[in-house]
Amino acid sequence: MINPPVNPSATERVVITSWNYSLTEDDSVQAVKLDGRPSRVLLATYALAGAGLLTLVLEGPIKIKIVAVCTLFGGMAGEALARHIITPILRRRSYRRNALLHNEFTIEISDRDIRIFSFQTDATLTPDRVVRWSEGHDHILIYVARKTYFTIPKQSAITAPNLDALRARLLQYTSKAAS
């Protein structure tokens, strides 16, 4: 049995746009901060817990007031310490130890997929692999698992059409950017 000839134009991947980028230590830290932004549900939970503790401070007996104030301030201090001091320190250390993050990457947006590669790694992101995406002031994070993401610095895109093409492809893959 002879296989029919394949139309090469039907199987070729057509690259719409591409650009190179490198991640800096600061990019890595900003990305982990963007990833660690609390969700609306978590913010609502914090607000309810804070309101409950505030009610105890205003209405409860003196011993409960002391515990409630300590809990309220301790929780806020712990959250701030973790988010703004400990996490960036750990991320900087992780960046310095991971030589793969120091490479120059290329991102290609094609008619079929998004490809991110360097001389050591190659990832092709198709709709079934992209879980969600998130956009901050300086970065776009493309999640392939709950806490596994690719970081794309916006300034690396050089032109607005490159970012628009990336956003359009991601919107095709998912309904909207994560908030």
179 assigned to some structural domain: no
Last residue of a domain, one of 97, 115, 144: 97
| 131 shares a domain with 147 | yes
Answer yes or no: do 106 and 58 share one domain: no
Give the model's pLDDT for residue 157.
82
Kindly state the average pLDDT of the residues 25-33: 94
User: How many domains does the chain contain in total?
Assistant: 2
134, 89: one domain: no
**35 within some domain:** no
Per-residue model confidence as pLDDT tens digits over 38-80: 888 888 988 888 888 888 888 878 888 888 888 888 888 988 8
DSSP character string of 43-82: HHHHHHHHHHHHHHHHHS-HHHHHHHHHHHHHHHHHHHHI
Predicted structure pTM score: 0.79
Residue percentage of the chain with pLDDT more than 70: 91
Q: Could you tell me if 15 and 48 lie in one domain?
A: no
Element (H, E) at 22: strand 15-22
- pLDDT for 16 beyond 80: yes
- Answer whether residue 59 is part of any domain: yes
For residue 154, the 8-state DSSP code is G
175: confidence class by pLDDT, cuts 50, 70, 90: low
pLDDT of residue 10 exceeding 80: no
Scored b (16 or more CB within 10 A) or e, 162-172 reads bbebbeebbee
Task: Say whether both 75 and 124 belong to one domain.
Answer: no
CATH number for 133: 2.30.29
- In the numeric block, which tokens belong to residue 41? 């549900």
Is 1 within a domain? no
Range of the domain at 117: 11-24+102-173
